[in-house]
Amino acid sequence: MFTFSAAHLERLVEAHHYEIADDVVLFGLRGCLPTNLQDVTRTALKPLRQVPIDHRRLRCTVGSADRQTGLLMACPGSTVPHLKHIERALAQSGQGANCLTPGLLRFAKGKHPSAGGYGSHDAFQQAQPFPHQRTRDDLDYDDDDVITVGTPGDNLHASYADTASSDFPPHFESAGCIVVAGFPLRQGYPQSRDLGCWPRFRDAAYATGQASFTLVLAHGGEAEAVATAAPGTVPCMLRFGSVGPLVERVQRALVKAGLLEPGQVDARYGRATLNAVVAFQRRERLSIDGTCALHTADALGIANWPMV
């Protein structure tokens, strides 16, 4: 178990070299749960614990942090698709389910489904292309699955599951969206009600006045590292959405490796840089995750990789 705060989220942002202007920032921690699954209050500290990733039960934390007050909300949820959607997608070459790749994502207030049709509910719509994987050969997401950047309609919405504490219900609703435990009031369904963490999470974000929100998607282990490790001991991790001089150093190394064009050096970790990093990791037989951290930087010959 570890305790997570707004200051720890800022350290995570620093480690990724993200630039975020929002006062309220959303975050998703994969393979990590709040120790108190029913706590929907906003406090300065949130006890969390790492757990195995699960495609049948809610095993992630989705939260928000107010950078002005330092208060956080942390809810059980999921940042991976449910197994039933993965199984259906296998029959369609992976189409119909995907797993978001950790990085800097952007959502805007809107309806889910995005068409705003019958049964939709107030939620957060995908507001920019996201990196994601589709599996075509098995029921998990690994080095064999290609990372692409696109707009598959991965929103942030209610999970239609009320708890992460047991196997009941043994499902949640996501084919790739990020979801928060709870149920929504649905358009055209008078019997539906707002229940659980979801409406409190949604309402807290809607009340800020922001029209859109940055979401930092990371692994639970990375959150624990920035929360517990001594200053200057956590290696930087560049991902989709990272910006700045360190990104430019990586890009120039990728140009030297023959995987990026000189004209693509722009100090922004976007689609071209992600694709080049993935190609380099595949060529060098490294873990293929699209992240340039210490091992990939070493393989690229980048000296003095910074720590936070």
Q: How high is the pLDDT of residue 117?
A: 59
Strands laid side by side in the 130-133 sheet: 99-100, 130-133, 147-150
Nearest to 279 by CA among 301, 262, 303, 255: 255
Nearest to 247 by CA among 13, 27, 16: 16
Q: Give the Cβ contact number of residue 13 at 10 Å.
A: 22
Q: Specify whether 49 is located in the same domain as 89.
A: yes
What ranges make up the beta strands (E) of the chain? 2-5, 24-30, 32-34, 45-50, 60-66, 72-78, 99-100, 103-112, 121-126, 130-133, 147-150, 156-158, 178-180, 212-219
Q: Specify whether 219 is located in the same domain as 239.
A: no
Q: Specify whether 67 is located in the same domain as 140.
A: yes
Nearest to 242 by CA among 277, 270, 223: 270
164 band by pLDDT with thresholds 50, 70 and 90:
low
Q: Specify whether 147 is located in the same domain as 272.
A: no
Whether 308 is in a domain gets the answer no
Whether 305 is in a domain gets the answer no
Q: What is the C-alpha to C-alpha distance for residues 273 and 290, in angstroms, rounded to an integer?
A: 9
Query: How do residues 197-229 score in pLDDT, each as one tens digit?
Result: 999 999 999 999 999 999 999 999 999 999 999
Nearest to 177 by CA among 245, 52, 80: 80
Residue 165 reports pLDDT greater than 70:
no
Q: Specify whether 153 is located in the same domain as 281.
A: no
194 band by pLDDT with thresholds 50, 70 and 90:
very high
87 band by pLDDT with thresholds 50, 70 and 90:
very high
Residue 166 reports pLDDT greater than 70:
no
Q: How high is the pLDDT of residue 190?
A: 87
Whether 240 is in a domain gets the answer yes
116 band by pLDDT with thresholds 50, 70 and 90:
low
Q: What is the mean pLDDT of residues 141-154?
A: 92
Residue 78 reports pLDDT greater than 90:
yes
At residue 272, φ and ψ (nearest 5 deg) are -65, -45
Q: What is the C-alpha to C-alpha distance for residues 52 and 183, in angstroms, rounded to an integer?
A: 24
CATH code where residue 279 lies: 1.10.101.10
Residue 115 reports pLDDT greater than 90:
no
Whether 230 is in a domain gets the answer no
Query: How do residues 46-68 score in pLDDT, each as one tens digit?
Result: 999 999 999 999 999 999 999 99
More confident residue, 140 or 224: 224
Q: How high is the pLDDT of residue 187?
A: 86
Q: What is the mean pLDDT of the chain?
A: 94
Q: Specify whether 157 is located in the same domain as 50.
A: yes
Q: What is the mean pLDDT of residues 37-49?
A: 95
Whether 278 is in a domain gets the answer yes
Among 223, 249, 269, where does a domain finish? 223
Q: What is the mean pLDDT of residues 235-263?
A: 98
Q: What is the C-alpha to C-alpha distance for residues 179 and 45, in angstroms, rounded to an integer?
A: 22
Whether 39 is in a domain gets the answer yes
Q: How high is the pLDDT of residue 29?
A: 98
Residue 268 reports pLDDT greater than 90:
yes
Q: Angle, to 10 degrees, between the axis of helix 6-16 and the axis of helix 220-228? A: 110
At residue 247, φ and ψ (nearest 5 deg) are -60, -40
Q: How high is the pLDDT of residue 113?
A: 87
Q: How many domains does the chain have?
A: 2
Among 223, 248, 264, where does a domain finish? 223
Q: Specify whether 204 is located in the same domain as 248.
A: no
Whether 192 is in a domain gets the answer yes
171 band by pLDDT with thresholds 50, 70 and 90:
confident
Give residue 156's domain range.
Answer: 2-223
Query: How do residues 96-114 score in pLDDT, each as one tens digit?
Result: 999 999 999 999 999 998 6
Q: Specify whether 169 is located in the same domain as 285.
A: no
Tell me the percentage of the chain whose pLDDT exceeds 70.
96
Q: Specify whether 264 is located in the same domain as 210.
A: no
Q: Specify whether 218 is located in the same domain as 240.
A: no
Lowest mean pLDDT among 112-116, 172-176, 186-190: 112-116
Q: Specify whether 147 is located in the same domain as 53.
A: yes
Q: Specify whether 115 is located in the same domain as 172.
A: yes
Nearest to 53 by CA among 27, 34, 81: 81
Among 177, 203, 223, where does a domain finish? 223
Q: How high is the pLDDT of residue 119?
A: 80
Whether 304 is in a domain gets the answer no
